[in-house]
């Protein structure tokens, strides 16, 4: 079946550095790729998304890149801050038209002061 | 901001018992979803619904039933709970195809089956 692989299970960066989280997907027809943030003990909160008709999207310090040929997308967090520390999940839409998302396994990002 | 609430927030159940997890959304979204979150697996889809009266199987439906009696409410039912169903359960709602394809998540229910 369709899968989304999130390559980094943990990631540590120094405050002010950039963090990059990479995901790959298997469903060629996936067209929607959201990212969610989960702070310790809390629920998932949407942070940014990208659609397959573009290859780059930026929202403040967050940049998402999409490479459809490689079936890869990535989240770049620039000028990281301690409050960026959380688990980040990538997801990809299923092509079946049922409006389902397939989630990666999550990346624990730690931003060290 | 979308509002999705879940109850109970924490639940301890016995093996073989019946458990009902409830979800309510006030966004008038057609689609609702139940996921479970386990370490190393991310979120896995159990059941989803397109609207009142509709329930569909997700990726891991075995041992679970769902009920969507109204636009606002979506329940997940464990008829015979087992320890392997110990997990954190999230409900989500969404209105895809409107340009806002994101899903909005509830706070989660932590279920422990002894």
Residues of chain A with pLDDT under 50: none
Which residues in chain B have Cβ-Cβ distances shorter than 8 Å to A107? Answer: none
Terminal-residue alpha carbon distance, chain B: 36
Share of chain B above pLDDT 90, in %: 85
> In terms of CA atoms, which chain B residue is nearest residue A31?
B101
Terminal-residue alpha carbon distance, chain A: 41
The per-residue pLDDT of chain B, averaged, comes to: 93
A106 contacts B44? CB cut-off 8 A: no
- A96 or B23, higher pLDDT: B23
A43 contacts B107? CB cut-off 8 A: yes
Confidence of residue B1 (pLDDT cuts 50, 70, 90): low
CA within 13 Å, CB half, B95: 12
CA within 13 Å, CB half, A79: 3
Q: What is the mean pLDDT of residues B11-20?
A: 98
B42 touches chain A (CB under 8 A): yes
State pLDDT tens for residues B49-102.
999 999 999 999 999 999 999 999 999 999 999 999 999 999 999 987 766 678
Q: How far apart are CA A12 and CA B62, in angstroms?
A: 37
Distances (CA, A) of A107 to A4, A36, B107: 13, 11, 20
Q: Which of B7-11, B40-44, B56-60 has the lowest mean pLDDT?
A: B40-44
Count of pairs with CB atoms under 8 A, one residue in A, one in B: 48
- B1 or B109, higher pLDDT: B109
Q: What pLDDT does A74 receive?
A: 98
Confidence of residue B27 (pLDDT cuts 50, 70, 90): confident
Which residues in chain A have Cβ-Cβ distances shorter than 8 Å to B103? Answer: 34, 46, 101
Q: What pLDDT does A95 receive?
A: 72
Confidence of residue B104 (pLDDT cuts 50, 70, 90): very high
Q: What pLDDT does B101 receive?
A: 75
Report which of B23, B27, B102 is spatially closest to residue A101, judged by C-alpha positions.
Answer: B102
B28 touches chain A (CB under 8 A): no
A99 contacts B94? CB cut-off 8 A: yes
> In terms of CA atoms, which chain B residue is nearest residue A1?
B59
B108 touches chain A (CB under 8 A): yes
State pLDDT tens for residues A79-104.
999 999 999 999 999 876 567 899 99
Q: How far apart are CA B23 and CA B106, in angstroms?
A: 8
Interface of B with A in 4-23 (CB under 8 A): none
Q: How far apart are CA A7 and CA A65, in angstroms?
A: 15
Beta-bridged to residue A102, according to DSSP, are A92
Q: What pLDDT does A1 receive?
A: 77
What are the strands of the beta sheet with B19-25, ordered from one edge? B4-7, B19-25, B73-78, B65-67
């Amino acid at each position: 079946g369709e899968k989304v692989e999130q390559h980094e299970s943990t990631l540590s960066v120094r405050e002010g550095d950039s963090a990059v989280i990479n995901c790959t997907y298997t469903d060629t027809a996936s067209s929607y790729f959201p990212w969610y943030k989960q702070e310790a003990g809390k629920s998932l909160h949407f942070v940014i998304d990208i659609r397959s008709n573009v290859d780059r999207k930026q929202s403040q310090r967050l940049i998402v890149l999409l490479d459809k040929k490689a079936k890869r997308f990535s989240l770049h967090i620039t000028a990281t801050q301690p409050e960026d520390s959380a688990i980040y999940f990538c997801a990809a839409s299923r092509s079946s038209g049922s409006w389902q998302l397939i989630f990666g396994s999550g990346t624990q990002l730690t931003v060290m002061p | 901001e979308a509002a999705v609430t879940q109850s109970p927030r924490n639940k301890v159940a016995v093996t073989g018992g019946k458990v009902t997890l409830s979800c309510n959304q006030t966004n008038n979204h057609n689609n609702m979803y139940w996921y479970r979150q386990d370490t190393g697996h991310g979120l896995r889809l159990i059941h989803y619904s397109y609207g009142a009266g509709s329930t569909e199987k997700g990726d891991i439906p075995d041992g679970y039933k769902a009920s969507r009696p109204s636009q606002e409410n979506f329940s997940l039912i464990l008829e015979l709970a087992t320890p392997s169903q110990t997990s954190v359960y999230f409900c989500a709602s969404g209105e895809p195809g409107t340009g806002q394809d994101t899903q909005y998540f509830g706070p989660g229910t932590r279920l422990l089956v002894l």
